[in-house]
A = this chain, B = another copy of it.
């Protein structure tokens, strides 16, 4: 398989606020494959796992805006591995065009509509069909209920914790928390090295308890028994989440500011929302003289979907 080799992604200093906090960006959006983002590292883990398990047909789940589905489709296209994507409509029942889904189709993915209320049945049905065709399907999330494969994506961000430490010393590492995979990987890295930075997940949709449970499940699937994390090891802020995909004026202003001042694109679903949350949270909690690293986890195709919002 094509294994891109990555140098450390660029680390960029932003402003220092009135309380002496200095903000930095780690540009995971510039990973040099398929428009970058954390899902590049995570997608590579899934593809390796597919091979490890002797499978030959990738099955994913994600809506039209899914960064993970786009990266997986690209990786599969590169090797001629067929991929089927179960794609739910939005909560209002609508299906909206998005660059990520268009790219999935450019990569030759088979996109199968699926009801959000019937994911397990749909996964089971698709897996059975693929088996009847004589192929060995690999569902990225494990069993048809989405359990059993949590260690795989978590592995992607364990080494990134070390990569960050080669790039600087930070008091706080912050990032968007959707599924919790990326956060879990960094927490595992910190646990292995005995690091003491705060690592802060800014939840974009789930409430704190739910995000925490998912993050712990990912982390503890990867860690050995004696190293397992407890709830107190996971810091989630959920005060700034909104309905998935919804924009607020503060988020749009943060996105405009980052784009105009630093030429950095952020989407409104994950990264822009989390970055706006970080800056508001830092002010509310009255942080003083902290070195704060925000991980830009990508989503450039989502930015292009949303340009009209910024006009």
Task: Please give the residue numbers on chain A whose beta carbons come within 8 Å of chain B beta carbons, in ascending order.
Answer: 2, 4, 7, 10, 12, 27, 30, 32-35, 40, 71, 74-75, 77-78, 99, 102-103, 105-107, 256, 259-265, 300-301, 304, 307-308, 310-311
Contacts and interface: CB of A to CB of B under 8 A. Distances in A.
**From DSSP, what is the main secondary structure of chain A's interface residues?**
helix
A308 B102 contact: yes
A117 to B, nearest CB: 30
A140 to B, nearest CB: 18
Contacts of A265: 35
A260 B7 CA distance: 21
B311 A260 contact: no
Contact of A262 (B2, B106, B107, B261): B2
A102 B32 contact: no
A117 B122 CA distance: 60
Contacts of A102: 307-308, 311
B27 A12 contact: no
Given A32-B264, A35-B265, A71-B263, 6 more contacts: A4-B263, A12-B32, A32-B263, A40-B263, A74-B259, A106-B256
Nearest to A102: B307
13 contacts: A4-B12, A32-B263, A35-B265, A71-B263, A78-B260, A78-B261, A78-B262, A99-B304, A99-B307, A102-B308, A106-B259, A106-B311, A300-B300
A73 to B, nearest CB: 9
A262 B308 contact: no
Contacts of A2: 261-262
Contacts of A301: 304
A271 to B, nearest CB: 15
B10 A7 contact: yes
A300 B35 CA distance: 9
Contacts of A7: 10
B30 A30 contact: yes
